[in-house]
Structure 1
Amino acid sequence: MAVDDTLNPKEKLKAFNSLLPIFSFIKPYKLMLALALLALLVTAAVNLSLGQAVKFVIDNGFIAGSEQQLQEAILGLVFLISLLAVGTFSRFYLMSWLGERVSADIRKAVFARIVTLHPSYFEENRSGELMSRLTTDTALLQSIIGSSFSMSLRSLLLLIGGLVMLFVTNLKLSLVVVVAVPFILIPMIVYGRKVRSLAESSQGAIADIGTYAGEIIQNIKVVQSYTHEAREQVAFGHEVEKAFIVAKNRVKQRSILIAIVIFLTFATISAMLWVGGMDVLSGKMTGGELGAFVFYAIMVAMSVATIAEVYGELQRAAGSATRLLDLLKVESDIKQPSQPSTIKVQASSAISFEQVNFSYPSRPDSPALHDINLVIATGKTVALVGPSGAGKTTLFELLQRFYDPQQGQIKFNETDITQLRLTDLRDAMGMVPQQPILFSSDVWHNIRYGNPQATDAEVIDAAKRAHADEFINQLPQGYGSFLGEQGVRLSGGQKQRIALARAILKDPNVLLLDEATSALDAQSESHVQAALNDLMENRTTLIIAHRLSTVIDADLIVVMDKGRIVDTGDHHSLLNSSALYKKLCELQFDKVTGQV
């Protein structure tokens, strides 16, 4: 059931009040709003004048039998219609422009807030829901501001003005209208609620279809690998049929509503025509007065219908406004320092972890790191090894301040990272993840993401150093080739070399490599390892490695297990001091070379 159906009057008023902050986005465009409202007032006044023009045409043209008077009356009517057309164009254009402009501003504000939120927020909130707020909710607000708001004001003016003109034109027939209005409004309210409820259900069903289809398309290789095409076709068909059943019920209720309203409206008009016709025949009123009265009656009926429809839209918009404003109010858990420090140029230690304890916000009772103490000297290469779940990647995430530890301190170039600007801290680091992330764009964009100001020559040089230039030139459009969603057109090794080229182009002070060669074949690994060795020279480097052959020559190897540092040293010393490191070496090296 739609939420708005269960709200009491106070709750509905509170819901509508949630729309008020949205008008802060309209303030910069007060002139456009004023012009739109002026056009609206003009069109409302012209609409109300048309009734008197109809009366004048009938009484002074047709009934009077004067050709000249008829011509004058028709010319006056054409003038009013022309003025109405110009006013309607102005009102529609200005309000639609305002709706589109405000919608665009809200989208930018929401997106600007989303991209600055802490990663744990996205663990608790689905990306599909956030996308819905950016698209569906803002589109609904655009419709409200650009169309429904204007329509509701126009209809309200016409309703009030039409009722006044009804009583001015004929008191007796006005009483007939007043008596008939409740009989028209009651079914509109009852069936209107059903229609809105079913409309909400229909939108939810359509959203489910989109979510289901998106997941299947994104994982199409898994679906085809398990030969589940027919199974998924049937499952998707069930989702579509459920949406169709809901939509069918919505259409049925809406059709009933339209039929009842049309019947009651025209029955009322017929009754007015009978009563008014009898008065015209008896000479109690003129034909022009009857024509004008019918005109105003239809105007009032249409205004009521429009207001009733817009009322439902406003209730839906209130929910959208609440969701958007809630998102705009979200504060990131990662706070920027009020008086940030600058990164020291010269420092003996590049990175240090001091008594760091950390649990992910989504798993507060499962500590990811315990009592981490680690000092990494400037320019050194440090490898983090250990079984999966040991906390190696977590160290990278804390170092980049995606999260803050619950206890302890992390320093970068001897300065607490919480005292540094996030942009300064992250600009000083280059990350090559285990699962490289590529954007749905061309090669230029994906590599240049490391340095948007880089020239084409610099991009190509970075690609060559990452041993990616050769396969890039074999793509259909070379560096201009579109890589598909998440780089789907590349192999795993090619993706990783693009990500490496991106990090090379960034030229960071600290290089973070998370299994950077894990997806490469032996030949590609040797090339990329050579490129990495060149890149790591005179640069502080942290490497997460399960393939220990890549880190034997590291200056320091840190052995981790269950969120703790269990030993540190170089390869040879750890073979003697760390049973876990020796076991990891035996599992890998014995199978390949027969020796440790």
Structure 2
Amino acid sequence: MARGTTIPDRPTSRRMGALGALWPFVRRYRGQMALALVALVATSAISLILPLAVRRVVDNFDDGAGLLDDYFGAALMVVALLALGTAARYYFVTRLGERVVADIRKAVYARVITLSPAFFERVMTGEILSRITTDTTLIQSVIGSSLSIALRNTLILAGGMAMLAITSVKLMGLVLLIVPAILIPIIVLGRRLRGLSRANQDWIAASSGAASETLLAVQTVQAYTHEARSIARFDDVTERSFAVALTRIRTRALMTAIVIFLIFAGVIGVLWIGARDVQAGAMTAGELVQFVIYAILVAGSTGALSEIWGELQRAAGASERLGELLAAEDALRDPPRPVPLPRPVRGRIELRDVGFRYPTRPDVSALENVSLTIRPGETVALVGPSGAGKTTVIQLIQRFWDPRSGQVTLDGIDLRDMARADFRQAIALVPQDPVIFAASAMENIRLGRPDAPPEQVREAARAAHAHDFIEALPQGYDTPLGERGVMLSGGQRQRIALARAILRDAPVLLLDEATSALDAESESLVQAAVSRLSEGRTTVVVAHRLATVKKADRIVVFDGGRVVAQGSHDDLVAQGGLYARLARMQFTDMPVLTELA
């Protein structure tokens, strides 16, 4: 199977206790739950009263029209109460289900959005979205419908069995003989259903993951005419999901057929014996009719419970999967008592003997014993071949990862001793591949400072040389930019990202290939904006194009995860070595298929 469609190994849900994970969300609404329970008990009790009324009508059929009128009038009142109680039960239970699912979705999203990049290396975004949508829909169905129906049928089953015993102990004893035969297939096949339900949900999540991965890169897929292979890959995952679902459906259909046959075959047998007792005068016709109705209620409740059991098992699997997200262990954690970053922030950054390896590539050292001090207000450029460790330094400064050895500090404080939300407020980032959200241009720039007034947003756009093209959009700054900024060119997206950084006005500025997607004219304009922006700020620039970093205060050359040289452009060229070789490649007429590509 292709990468990204593999189902992680997880323990199969062996018990319905997984539904207990929903209790913290349900208990917040005890009052609403109590109202639903009152309505539930009331409707169940009314359902159990009706057979008594029918018995009285049958046994007193010859006692006159007046008494019959009274009985039928009372029956009409009971039916009206049943309708009102059922409506109340539906309202309170369905409302509770919708409210609980909304809370679960919010909790899962709030948890996932704070997890570090290490988590997203293991779990695909599409699978997470599947859990937030498909799994929560299952839970909504259970809390808002199946659970109340299960409780109602349980009450009717218990009450009906009691009334059967009151009506005829002999016939009741025969009914009890049928129960073990009904429970055996429910228990045996139910265990298989639990595993199949969990596997079915996992494959649905894998299908969503495969779809989201290719749809987010649809232009690349089409450019390389990879549509047929992508379709085949998605078809394969979807068919596997269908195969598991089909096995689950067959198992559940078999269980339903067995249970229903045993229930009604048993009822027919009991009624046959009861009919002979009426003929022998051992019981009245009304008592037999009452017993028949209660037997039908008990049989119907048992059948309904066997149906709902499958739904509860699917919900247990869904609850387990959502619980995994809520309980996901993050590789990075804020300390219990974080040290506050002193304000104003000076912006002194230090890497002290830092070593780091990515979890997915544990055999490859991304950084090896790197020590680097960046003084407040200094502009430092990181250059070197691809994979040399430049972007890793940027990520460590933001504490997206923790070094395996050594320290990364800001103003002398280890990043691990501070709250990430605290020190990240002092950092502005312009990434190599800027992300544009499906919101307006105004809101996309406001990501840098959400409370910024419109005029400050426009000033930031002007400084990033983005104002003119934004104003030319159909609705100006209010124009939606489409998912991932499909309406914009690469250079325009990068200038939006630069405007965010300018608006943030942070003391530390990180530029990761910030001008790589710009044409020569735009690059010149943006370079001027970056030069103004970096004044008085600690600026770390990652660049492949050496022309963009010639004026940096210091250039640090990386190779193989190590610092191999540092100094000014002229000094490094004079020293020879890797930087001088790269500079010759870029500043002569040689092809640009270099080590930096």
* TM-score under structure 2 length normalisation: 0.89
Match of 2:555 among 553, 557, 560: 557
The alignment status of 1:50 with 2:53, answered yes or no, reads: no
Superposed counterparts of 1:225-374, under 5 Å: 225-229=223-227, 232-233=230-231, 251=249, 254-337=252-335, 338-345=337-344, 347=346, 350-374=348-372
Instruction: Classify 1:243/1:391 alpha carbon distance in 2 versus 1 (closer, same or farther; 3 Å).
Output: closer
Aligned to 2:28: 28
Choose 104-113 or 509-518, whichever is displaced more.
104-113
Instruction: Classify 1:361/1:205 alpha carbon distance in 2 versus 1 (closer, same or farther; 3 Å).
Output: closer
Match of 1:144 among 127, 137, 142: 142
Q: Is the 8 A contact 1:166 1:174 kept in 2?
A: yes
Aligned to 1:412: 410
Choose 363-372 or 291-300, whichever is displaced more.
363-372
SS at match of 2:437: coil
Match of 2:394 among 396, 402, 426: 396
Shift of 1:568: 1.1
Superposed counterparts of 1:188-227, under 5 Å: 188=186, 202-227=200-225
**Deviation readout 1:277-296 (Å, 9 max, x if unpaired):** 34334443323222211111
Aligned to 1:114: 112
Matches of 1:341 and 1:217, distance apart in 2? 42
Matches of 1:242 and 1:377, distance apart in 2? 57
Matches of 1:237 and 1:16, distance apart in 2? 32
Shift of 1:190: 5.5
Match of 2:514 among 513, 516, 537: 516
Choose 496-505 or 121-130, whichever is displaced more.
121-130
Superposed counterparts of 1:113-192, under 5 Å: 113-188=111-186
Matches of 2:241 and 2:137, distance apart in 1? 21
SS at match of 1:284: coil
Aligned to 1:16: 16
SS at match of 2:456: helix
One-letter code aligned to 1:157: L
Matches of 2:31 and 2:533, distance apart in 1? 57
SS at match of 2:517: coil
Instruction: Classify 1:111/1:217 alpha carbon distance in 2 versus 1 (closer, same or farther; 3 Å).
Output: closer
Matches of 2:259 and 2:386, distance apart in 1? 67
Matches of 1:549 and 1:331, distance apart in 2? 43
Shift of 1:508: 1.0
* TM-score under structure 1 length normalisation: 0.89
**Deviation readout 1:536-595 (Å, 9 max, x if unpaired):** 22222111010000111111111111111111111111111241110010010002899x
Q: Is the 8 A contact 1:343 1:415 kept in 2?
A: no
Instruction: Classify 1:196/1:412 alpha carbon distance in 2 versus 1 (closer, same or farther; 3 Å).
Output: closer
Matches of 1:284 and 1:540, distance apart in 2? 99
One-letter code aligned to 1:497: R
Shift of 1:517: 0.5
Aligned to 1:68: 66
Instruction: Classify 1:543/1:162 alpha carbon distance in 2 versus 1 (closer, same or farther; 3 Å).
Output: same
Matches of 1:231 and 1:261, distance apart in 2? 45
Shift of 1:57: 2.5
One-letter code aligned to 2:23: F
One-letter code aligned to 1:546: H
Shift of 1:235: 5.7
Shift of 1:197: 5.8
Unpaired stretches in structure 1, ≥5 consecutive residues:
1-5
SS at match of 2:589: helix
Instruction: Classify 1:183/1:16 alpha carbon distance in 2 versus 1 (closer, same or farther; 3 Å).
Output: closer
Q: Is the 8 A contact 2:125 2:212 kept in 1?
A: no
SS at match of 2:352: strand
SS at match of 1:45: helix
SS at match of 1:361: coil
Q: Is the 8 A contact 2:198 2:317 kept in 1?
A: no
Matches of 2:77 and 2:432, distance apart in 1? 72
Shift of 1:368: 1.7
SS at match of 1:367: coil
Matches of 1:53 and 1:587, distance apart in 2? 98
Aligned to 2:452: 454
Shift of 1:314: 3.1
**Deviation readout 1:35-63 (Å, 9 max, x if unpaired):** 22222221121111111112122223xx3
Q: Is the 8 A contact 2:130 2:205 kept in 1?
A: no
Superposed counterparts of 1:543-554, under 5 Å: 543-554=541-552
Unpaired stretches in structure 2, ≥5 consecutive residues:
1-10, 593-597
Instruction: Classify 1:455/1:309 alpha carbon distance in 2 versus 1 (closer, same or farther; 3 Å).
Output: same
Q: Is the 8 A contact 2:185 2:258 kept in 1?
A: yes
Aligned to 1:83: 81
**Deviation readout 1:390-425 (Å, 9 max, x if unpaired):** 111111111111122232222222333333332221
Instruction: Classify 1:245/1:17 alpha carbon distance in 2 versus 1 (closer, same or farther; 3 Å).
Output: closer
Q: Is the 8 A contact 1:433 1:516 kept in 2?
A: yes
Q: Is the 8 A contact 1:343 1:420 kept in 2?
A: no
**Deviation readout 1:129-168 (Å, 9 max, x if unpaired):** 3333323333333333333332222222111111110111
SS at match of 2:448: coil
The alignment status of 1:576 with 2:574, answered yes or no, reads: yes
Q: Is the 8 A contact 1:385 1:392 kept in 2?
A: yes
SS at match of 1:285: coil
One-letter code aligned to 1:48: L
Instruction: Classify 1:313/1:241 alpha carbon distance in 2 versus 1 (closer, same or farther; 3 Å).
Output: closer
Shift of 1:263: 4.4
One-letter code aligned to 1:512: L
Q: Is the 8 A contact 2:139 2:319 kept in 1?
A: yes
Q: Is the 8 A contact 2:197 2:313 kept in 1?
A: no
Matches of 1:335 and 1:247, distance apart in 2? 39
Instruction: Classify 1:428/1:194 alpha carbon distance in 2 versus 1 (closer, same or farther; 3 Å).
Output: closer
Shift of 1:302: 1.6
Matches of 2:198 and 2:412, distance apart in 1? 56
Aligned to 2:583: 585
Q: Is the 8 A contact 2:339 2:418 kept in 1?
A: yes
Shift of 1:85: 1.6
Aligned to 2:424: 426
Instruction: Classify 1:593/1:316 alpha carbon distance in 2 versus 1 (closer, same or farther; 3 Å).
Output: closer
Q: Is the 8 A contact 2:264 2:299 kept in 1?
A: no
One-letter code aligned to 1:171: V
One-letter code aligned to 1:16: M
Instruction: Classify 1:372/1:201 alpha carbon distance in 2 versus 1 (closer, same or farther; 3 Å).
Output: closer
Matches of 1:230 and 1:412, distance apart in 2? 50
Choose 88-97 or 541-550, whichever is displaced more.
88-97
Aligned to 1:3: none
